[in-house]
Structure 1
């Protein structure tokens, strides 16, 4: 139906007269006042026409004595929230009559007109009812416009979120590709040059007889060995093969061992084998986050003991990683890595990129009480069986950690 046709339906008055003659007279009266009237033969037709649109309904008390009145009550009850259709009822006996009581109690927005009603009073009452109804339609139209704009802006926001997620994923991939490229350069070129240098030094040493030169060559050989060891270590740190070949849990064990060897940091790791995001982007991001958190422990915490726990939670198939230390802790305002201008892979960058990819990071800390950082990311596949189907039940991972509630004493998302 055209917009004009719908508007005409919504501006008409539905009337159920007691007789055909009364209907014709009332139609002429209202038409002369500029109002369109649609005559109905029974309440069932009135209810059908209400569904197409109406400005008001004009009834007499005789209509409310029929067995179809409940159908009218049900039709009015199904009105949308913005709608409150005016019902004008012509009655005898004032507001104490059965028809008047029924109309006031069951028909909602009803107006009682005592019979016989003067023509001017009837026209004025019907016009007031239709004007009120027009304001309801205006409100509906405004709501429709608002909902359309909200839907459009929501669609734009969702599209931007998808673009941000794609950009975050691409940023992670680009970063890892560059790390992998540098690792290959170190392995395929610099390490080979150092190994060749070591061989040349060994050959040169066989030709030297002077003890003082042999001692210098030995020191030079030690330096080359140290350089080879450093490049091998740096190659693994830039792009750890264990992360690609065996997944996040084993990579966390390797990271703990590496941090202990280099910085003397004692780290206990408990990682379930299935605490491994299906998305490679998330695996790389979580590994980088754990590495950054451990570097923060080394630089700021002065901790004697650190613990990493990784588990798959029953909360909609999410991976949870918790890094805790017994170090100095900090006040929320002194959050390390919060400086956005510092560059690098700081905590602010971690939180933002996790959020874009559907994850979160929450930090709990206070001076002298150590720090606990919890990272959650989507597992990216179906959650394991055995999870609770009760939405009100506390969610737990298989290690017994409550994942439905995370302490928020310091800072958090």
Structure 2
């Protein structure tokens, strides 16, 4: 990606995904893990592709920023004064982390990354991401599965407002990159980035995003099963990703016939717009759009977290279907409930707050039912 749409855009993309996919979730406990994981990832990839000194500086910047985004998510979703304070605090911490990392490196070997430039890039990236999240969704509200449907509904209205809102949100990312590029690389470079990523790719991405948001409104739809809801939500998530990516790539390919003459007049040769730029720009925003409109990305994160810790099976929906087939669970529309009253009472007592009881981790920890009660009897087979 061209200068202005690199580190700040990466931090802004992660911020958008966190605000979209983690609605109603307290991400503060995961802040240290997010900071370390992002810093290590940047360090490994940067050492492999670039230089270890550049990787150290970038890892300190991105790790500090992403860790604070997880820690201050409630402030980013709250009132505007708290949101502005959280953005400035994140940018200042990233700039200080870069300054510390450069001080550790040998003199004359540190990359040319000034704290002021880091502060500008991080603040711009997180500010644009927060603005886009507030325009496209309710980052402080609960997360619900998608309700998008092609069936006619009276409550939909016209798609003009959702399309305009999505276009402004998508173009804001390009404008942020243009602002940072102009401040660091010169006015002509900033105009070049703004024309390509805000003027051209912004409306191209805003159109499918707005249409998806327009269709994704509550309607009088019949109550579907849990598996059907999951499949529908997953399909829309992939549609968001594929639709935005395809539109951005196709628009970038057609860029020569749109504004190429205007770009030539700028005389900026720092980068040449290629289809790969549209592909990368569309893929990153496509993931964010999927997080805004569906619950499936959050579901994947949760299942991965619990499956790695061996608390849930990887194929959780299939596991629920098996429990329903064995008459352990009762299915009522998209909801499941336990059939056995004794099992319900036992789980309610075990997971009740402030009881201090041990959570069962194996089947033989569950109580055996008495004969004639109709409750399933747990065998002695270990997990």
TM interval, shorter chain, is under 0.3
TM-score, normalised relative to structure 2: 0.22
Whose helix proportion is higher, 1 or 2?
Answer: 2
Whose strand proportion is higher, 1 or 2?
Answer: 1
TM-score, normalised relative to structure 1: 0.21
